[in-house]
Structure 1
Amino acid sequence: MSKPLLSIIIPTRDRPHLLPHAVNSALAQTLDDLEVIVVDDASTQMAQLPKDSRLRVIRLEQSRGGAGARNVGTEAARGRWVTYLDDDDRLLPQMAEVSLAAIARASATPPVAVISGLEKVSPQGEVIKVRIPPSLCPKGSHFFLETPEAGRSYATKQTLVVEREVVLQIGGWDEQFRSRVHSEFFLRLNPVCTLIGLPTVTYQLRCHGGVRVSSNPVLRQESFHRLIQKHQVAFESHPRQFAQFIYRHARNSWQERQFQAALLAIAWALKIDPTHPLRNFLQGVCQYANRFNPA
C-alpha cells in the first residue's frame, strides 16, 4: 500500500505489555485504507507485535520524547491524513471511518480536522467517564481558551484526525514539551484549522498503574509555565478561560501536595479574574483534607 488514506502513528517507550493492544486496535479499524506506524522512542524492552503488511516500526536510538516520536512518525507517514494513538490507549473500530466521513461531509473552508468522543476506562474495561468535544471550533479560535458548550469537554484532544501537511506547516509537535504536549499543539492548530467535534465515542483512554508522563508533577509545573509563556498573547486575550485554566492547575497542584504552587496559582488567577468563584477549588481542598481527617 503505497499511499494509504490514513496513517495511525503510535509513539511508544518501554510498554511492551500495553503496546500490542494499541496496535491491534489500530489494525482492527473498519477502514482498510490505512497504515500503522509505531515509533519506538529508544525502548529498552521490545514488544511482540503482530505481522501485518500495514504495520511499520521505526526504532530511535536516542530518545526524543513523545513529541519527537510523533514528529518522526508524521514525517514518515504516507497517508494524506494522520491520527495519533498513545501506546497505552485503544481506538474503537469505527474511529477512522467516522472521522474521515465527517471530514468528507464538512462544508467549512479547508483545512478541516475532526475530534470525537473519548471514554476513560478502568483496567477491567469499565467505563468511568465519557467526554464529548465541542461541536465546532472555527478556524481562528484558540480551542480550550474559548468558552465551551454545556456538557462538552476539550479533553478529547487524543482523537484528532488532521491532514499531515497541516501538521508539517505549523511546525509539528514542540519537542520542548514533555507534558501538555497536546494543549500546546492545539493552540497552534486551531488558529489555522477548523475543528469539527463528533458526539461519537471513538477512543478509549485506559487507566492503569503504570507511569504517565502527563501525571509527572514536576514536568506538569514546568510545562504549565512554558505553555503560558509561549502562548501569552492567546491566554491574555481570553482572561476568563485563562483564569479557569490556572484554577484547574491550582486544584491539581493541591491534590499532588504541591501546596505552594497551588496557592501561587490561586493568587495569579484572582489577579486575572477577581470575580471568578473559588468554589471548585475550595471543594477540592476540603475533599483532600477529609481524606486525612476522617470524621
Structure 2
Amino acid sequence: MPLVSIVVPVYNQAQYLPMTLDAVMFQEHPDIELVIVNDGSTDDTPAVIEDFLTRVRTETASFARRYDEAADTVEREVHPRYPQNRLIRVLHHERNSGLGATLNTGFRAATGEFCTYIASDDMLLPSMVSECLAAMERTTADFAYADMHVVDDRGRILRRFSLPEADFAACFGDWYFCGVCKLYRRSLHERLGWYREDLLSHDHELYQRFAMHGVPFVHVPKVLANVRIHGADRQVDNHTPGQWNRLFRESIALVREAREFLRTGKTPQP
C-alpha cells in the first residue's frame, strides 16, 4: 500500500483541531503520515497537539466481546483507541506565516507517495483516501477530487456540494470546482512547484497550474469530507470580509487566466 501524507495546517483553531486529527487517524487506508504544522498559534493549539499525542500513545478503548456463562460475566476486549501504525510529525512556526507558507512547510516535510491537506476545522470521512486512491488506480489520473457536505459551526449538514466531472473548462473556466477534498501525487510538487505564498487562493492557483501542464484529474462522485462554514460571529483569517473579498478577486483573475488558456492553449509564464 502506498504511504499517504496528510498535512493539517493550523492557526488558532484549537476547538476544532481534535476532530480534524481524529478523522485523519481513522482513515481506512492503512499507511498514513500525519503532518501537523502549527503556524504560530496564540490560542491553546500547542496544548491541544500535545494532548493529542499523549492520547495516541496511551488511551485505550474496549468492547463487549464474550459472555462467560460459567462466571456469568461479559468479558471485554481492551485495545488502543488509535491506530498505532501512523507516522506523526509535528512542526511549528515561531510566528504566523500564512497558509501558503504553512502548507509548503508541511509538504516539504511529507514523505508519502500521495498527499493532501485538510483545514484544521474540517473533517475527512473515513474512506476518503482509499476512494481517491482507487479512482486514480482505475484511471491512471494523478489528482483525484471528491464531493463534500457543507456543515455549520455545530457540524450539522447544510447541503451537499457536488462537483463537476474532470474537465478543465468546468473545473477552472467557470469557477474553481475541484480542490477542497482531494488527493494527488507528491511528485507533482517536485515537477511543477509549490503553493504560492503571496496568494490566499494558493490551492486554486496550484491545481490550475497542474491542470494547465496536462496533469490528469478524476472526479469521485461521493461525499468524502465535511467542510465547515462559520457563522458571522466567527470571522477570522480568510473568513473576514476583507480577506474574503481578496480571495474572490484572486480567483476571478485565475478564472480569466483559465479562459485565456482555453482560447489559446498557452500556459502562462511564471
Q: TM-score range by the shorter chain?
A: 0.7 to 0.9
Deviation at 1:167, TM superposition (A): 2.4
1:188 CA displacement: 1.0
Determine if contact 2:145/2:183 at 8 Å carries over to the other structure: yes
User: Which residue in the other structure is 1:85 paired with?
Assistant: 118
Residue 147 (structure 1) shift: 5.2
Q: Does the 8 Å contact 1:118/1:156 carry over to 2?
A: no
- What is the deviation of 1:233? 4.1
Aligned to 2:235, which of 202, 206, 211?
211
Alignment counterpart, residue 137 of structure 2, candidates 99, 104, 108 = 104
Q: SS in structure 2 opposite 1:157?
A: coil
1:180 touches 1:220 (CA, 8 Å); kept in 2?
no
Q: Shift of residue 63 of structure 1?
A: 1.9
Shift of 1:207: 3.0
1:58: Cα distance to partner?
Answer: 0.4
- What is the alpha-carbon distance in structure 2 between the residues aligned to residue 119 and residue 33 of structure 1? 25
- TM-fit CA distance, 1:14: 1.3
Kindly state the Cα deviation for residue 156 of structure 1 after the two structures are TM-superposed. 4.6
The TM-score, its normalising length taken from structure 2, stands at 0.74
Q: Which amino acid aligns with 1:199?
A: P
Alignment-derived partner of residue 44 in structure 1: 42
Quick check: which one's strand share is greater?
2
Q: Which amino acid aligns with 2:144?
A: V
Partner of 1:70: 103
Normalized per residue, the structure richer in helix is: 1
Match of 1:131 among 161, 166, 170: 161
Aligned residues: 225
CA distance in 1, matches of 2:245, 2:235: 17
Offset of residue 146 of structure 1: 3.2
Q: Is the 8 A contact 2:164 2:171 kept in 1?
A: no
1:272: which partner in 2? none
Q: Amino acid of the residue matched to residue 124 of structure 2?
A: L
TM-superposed deviation, 1:158:
1.3
Determine which of 168, 171, 180 is the counterpart of 1:144: 171
- The amino acid across from 1:161 in the alignment is L
CA shift at 1:235, angstroms? Answer: 3.8
Q: Which region of structure 1 is more displaced relative to structure 2, 188-197 or 154-163?
A: 154-163
Amino acid at match of 1:94: S
TM-score by length of 1: 0.68
- 1:187-266 → structure 2 map (5 Å cutoff): 187-192=208-213, 193-209=215-231, 210-227=234-251, 233-236=257-260
Task: Rate the CA distance shift 1:54–1:121 in 2: closer, same or farther, 3 A.
Answer: same
Tell me the distance in 2 between the aligned counterparts of 1:207 and 1:18.
Answer: 12
Contact 2:35 2:90 in 1 (8 A): yes
Q: Is the 8 A contact 1:142 1:187 kept in 2?
A: no
Which residue pairs with 1:117 in the alignment?
147
| Structure 2, gaps ≥5 residues long | 57-85, 264-270
